[in-house]
Amino acid sequence: MFTTKKKIVASLVSGIVFTLTVFYLGLPALSVYSVGFWFFLTFVIAAFSWPFLLPSGEPARGKKRGKVYVMGISFKNNMPSRTALILVGVCVLPVLFCGLAALFSSAPLFYAKQYASVIDVQSADFAEDMPESTEVSNIALMDTDSAIVIGNRTLGPLSDVVSQYTINPAYMQINYKGSPRKVTPLEYNGFFKWLGNNKNGIPGIVMVDPVNSDAEYVPLSEPMYYAESAYFNRDLARKLRFSYPTKIFGSVSFEINEDGKPYYVVSCMKPQVGLFGAMDVSEVILFDPHDGSSEIMTVEKTPAWVDIVYTGYLACEKYDWHGTLSGGFFNSIIGNVGCKQTTDDFGYVVLGDDVWYFTGVTSMTSGDESNIGFILSNARTGEYKYYSVNGAEEYSAMAAAEGEVQEKGYVASFPSLINVSGEATYIMVLKDSGGLVKLYALVNVERYSIVATGETQQDAMRAYRKRLAQSGVGDDPTGGEEQLTVTVETREIVTLGGLPTVYVTAEDGRVFKGDLESDEALILIRAGDVLNMTCTATAVDGIFAIVEWEFAEAAEAE
């Protein structure tokens, strides 16, 4: 017999156990702005309520006995009892409220203008905003797939590390000490490896140079004890939830500051429309994975070394609200007048000390594969700039680059964007089937038949500028080529943007430079050597670029 006292005890025990278990495992945000919270509340109410649906035993004298019990609900004359109806209604109410609130207070159908005004997009001039690239040597073009291939090689020689840890495949693009880098932490290689190593923590990170296509394992001065692969209270998500039970977490990015200290940068989300609509970043948490300490701040107060607060997917989604809903919801469905949307992917552009997302913008009424412009969105501040540049969309440019070397079967990565002679230009890498970078390619945005490739970024840039000049789009800064014979006074090797560059000073004072990576024989040049050289006819910043060369003695011997 289930007396009232027993039902109360059962209600409290089951409700408390269920609530704590689900909160510990599911980690829902305790916020009315979270859809998950309302479902969590529904199950909690059900956990506390179900004992009251159990039968109470013998019916009172003079009352008919209930004939059937289904799931604890008493049915009599094919109708549920009043208590059952009330409790079921109470359980359904939060979910019903959630659905209605989403419909009437958050749906684009009723609040299209609010969605469209979440961001402010400033029109800008591409040639003025984007610094012109005369020599390309420091643009990060490596995608995550290539970073994974290169990064995995770093742990091979480290037997004590590779046997206990694995590399997190979610490489983050950051700007580290003025240079682009992709970074990711090590992770515990399963539960039992965590049991054996959690006292020592995670000892290091992997840093990939996306310009030179190399990687290094970087030991940490202080190990990381909190991680995505840790368990129980050292699990990163659980530690964050217990520290901030009411916050709705968005992206979690792994970064390092200028001193190399690791942090997790956690975006906290808040709706900009109604209860659930237009979720956007409202605050940022900087979490120290060594000691579990953290600091929460507004987006405006985020330190300059932080690069990723807004993800590229969120940046594109917010622009799509702006571009499609500015003319109203029904216009976005039927008329599409003035509707614009981003293309399917995004790339990275480093300007100054910030990482910006770049993606093309197409018209919803356009059926061809072309852009009407593109946007840049600051990954830290959320600022937007729109550039009206008609031309090929990114995938058409990638196909044009692949077609230039179609016999090799190389695959193009998603491009970045640079300014060459005032021309918007896609720059990308061409990879082989193993994911290794083989060539660099540049494609003109407005005239994507202008394509150039090269084994190095410098070679590709040189060839592209010549193509521009031949097409009458830009001026060839080299002014053609010149043959001459020079006597070497000095030869120096300098690393620029991670690439070794040879500088040759002739006895007449002229300075020449060549790329050691593409021509290793340059290292053989010594003071006093006489060289037959083909170089650019015009100097850039007082320096001539070496196109071809040979020792004069070798030429005479032939």
Q: What is the 3-state secondary structure (H, E, C) of 218-278?
A: EEEEEEECCECCCCHHHEHHHHHHHHCCCCEEEEEEEEECCCCCEEEEEEEEEEEECCCEE
pLDDT in tens, 336-383: 888 999 988 898 888 888 899 999 999 887 655 688 999 999 999 999
pLDDT band for position 527 (cuts 50, 70, 90): very high
Lowest mean per-residue pLDDT among 283-297, 340-354, 521-535: 340-354
- Tell me: pLDDT of 56 over 70: no
Q: List 123's β-bridge partners, or say none.
A: 386
Backbone angles phi, psi at 81, to 5 degrees: -70, 160
Where in the chain are the domains? 4-106, 313-390, 394-470, 481-557
Higher model confidence: residue 377 or residue 209?
A: 377
What pLDDT was estimated at residue 133?
Answer: 74
- The CA dihedral of 241, 242, 245, 248, to the nearest 10 degrees, is -10
pLDDT in tens, 225-246: 999 999 999 999 999 999 999 9
Backbone angles phi, psi at 460, to 5 degrees: -65, -40
pLDDT band for position 501 (cuts 50, 70, 90): confident
pLDDT band for position 474 (cuts 50, 70, 90): low
* Of 322, 355, 433, 357, the residue nearest 176 (C-alpha): 355
Give me the mean pLDDT over the 472-487 stretch.
Answer: 73
Q: Report the range out of 36-45, 146-155, 482-491 with the highest average pLDDT.
A: 482-491
The string of DSSP codes covering 158-188 is -HHHHTTEEE-S--EEEEETTEEEEEEEEEE
Cβ neighbors of 65 (< 8 A, separation 6 or more) are: 58, 59
What pLDDT was estimated at residue 87?
Answer: 67
Output the average pLDDT for the chain: 85
- Tell me: pLDDT of 66 over 60: no
pLDDT band for position 71 (cuts 50, 70, 90): very low
- Tell me: pLDDT of 75 over 90: no
State the greatest distance between any 2 C-alpha atoms of the chain, in Å, as a whole number.
125
pLDDT band for position 60 (cuts 50, 70, 90): very low
pLDDT in tens, 386-423: 999 888 889 989 999 999 888 888 999 888 888 888 88
Please check whether residue 443 is in contact with residue 450, taking contact to mean a CB–CB distance below 8 angstroms.
yes
- Tell me: pLDDT of 448 over 60: yes
- Tell me: pLDDT of 78 over 50: no
What is the rounded distance in angstroms from the CA atom of residue 266 to the CA atom of residue 289? 12
pLDDT in tens, 158-181: 767 888 899 999 999 998 888 889
What pLDDT was estimated at residue 455?
Answer: 81
What pLDDT was estimated at residue 204?
Answer: 94
Alpha helices in 107-213 (DSSP H): 108-116, 126-129, 144-152, 159-162, 191-197
pLDDT in tens, 98-156: 777 777 888 898 899 999 999 999 999 888 888 887 666 556 777 788 888 888 888 77
- Tell me: pLDDT of 19 over 90: yes
Give me the mean pLDDT over the 267-280 stretch.
Answer: 93
pTM greater than the 0.85 cutoff? no
Give me the mean pLDDT over the 449-460 stretch.
Answer: 84
* Of 208, 293, 278, the residue nearest 243 (C-alpha): 293
What is the rounded distance in angstroms from the CA atom of residue 425 to the CA atom of residue 135? 14
What pLDDT was estimated at residue 462?
Answer: 80
Q: Determine what percent of the chain is predicted with pLDDT higher than 70.
A: 87
Choosing among 3.90.950.20, 2.40.50.140, 3.40.228.10, 3.40.50.1100, the CATH entry for 481-557 is: 2.40.50.140
